[in-house]
Amino acid sequence: MKSSPFLIIETGQPFPTLRRYGRFPHWIRVAAGLEEAQTVVVDVEHGERLPDRHGFAATIVTGSAAFVTDRAEWSERSADWLREAAHGGMPLLGICYGHQLLAHALGGQVDYNPAGRESGTIRLELDPAAAGDPLFAGLPTSFAAQATHLQTVLRAPDGATVLARSAQDGCHAFRWGDNAWGLQFHPEFATHHMRGYVRARADCIARHGGCARTVSRQVSAAPQARQLLRRFVRHARAM
């Protein structure tokens, strides 16, 4: 029996210097262990319409250079779709912008991080609730992850469980209900993706008091964070 495909909502494109590695859905597919034929990609940023959610195993929402607070038409339309999907019990995974968009859709607060830009390989600290979470259970209480963002989830949606934080961000991961997760960090990033983003955002990193060369030198692999995509796929397929 053929398994249902995964829907990938594409909300943005990689920085131009990184597009030789493909688009975000490709990066996600590789990290998640999904074949192209097992996914359906909808580019909402460029006006593609979201399909009926029935018939999909789950939905993954990509990152973007856009800002949730701009309330773009395509973004708000996607938020409405995600809200309905979450209340319908569909497995959802939002990454970076997708994390923020899911939080916004469910009534959380998104805005610029008062601590400034977070870039590079960071350290995640898991909250105690993560020990019983379907995606995070069994992972170390502290591990590396890749991050690049200016905005953040300042307040998780009502009823959500915060699962991870960093020194700069108090909500790096949350779960809402049984099947909806937001990840501020990028589980799909390999080290070459992360270094490329650090180089591309060097001026912004400097404006926020950092040094891109130092951040780039400190980039390292983040295998535990990368595991989360495959764990999400397994969780969705087991439903």
Kindly name the residue from 10, 45, 118, 188 that is annotated as catalytic: 188
pLDDT tens digit sequence for 72-113? 999 999 999 999 999 999 999 999 999 999 999 999 999 999
Distances (CA, A) of 218 to 41, 120, 224: 33, 8, 17
Kindly name the residue from 99, 104, 149, 186 that is annotated as catalytic: 186
Q: What angle do CA 111, 117, 119 make, to 5 degrees?
A: 130
Give yes or no: 186 in active site: yes
Kindly name the residue from 96, 104, 171, 193 that is annotated as catalytic: 96
Domains in the chain, start-ordered, CATH in brackets?
6-237 (3.40.50.880)
Pair of tokens at residue 79: 């938020």
pLDDT tens digit sequence for 112-162? 999 999 999 999 999 999 999 999 999 999 999 999 999 999 999 999 999
Q: Is the pLDDT of residue 2 over 90?
A: no
Give yes or no: 211 in active site: no
Give yes or no: 188 in active site: yes
The pLDDT, as a whole number, for residue 3 is 87
What pTM, to 2 d.p., does this model score?
A: 0.97
Helices then strands, counting H and E runs in the chain, come out as 7, 11
Calculate the CA 86 to chain-centre distance. Answer: 16
Q: Strands 58-61, 92-95: parallel, antiparallel or unpaired by DSSP?
A: parallel
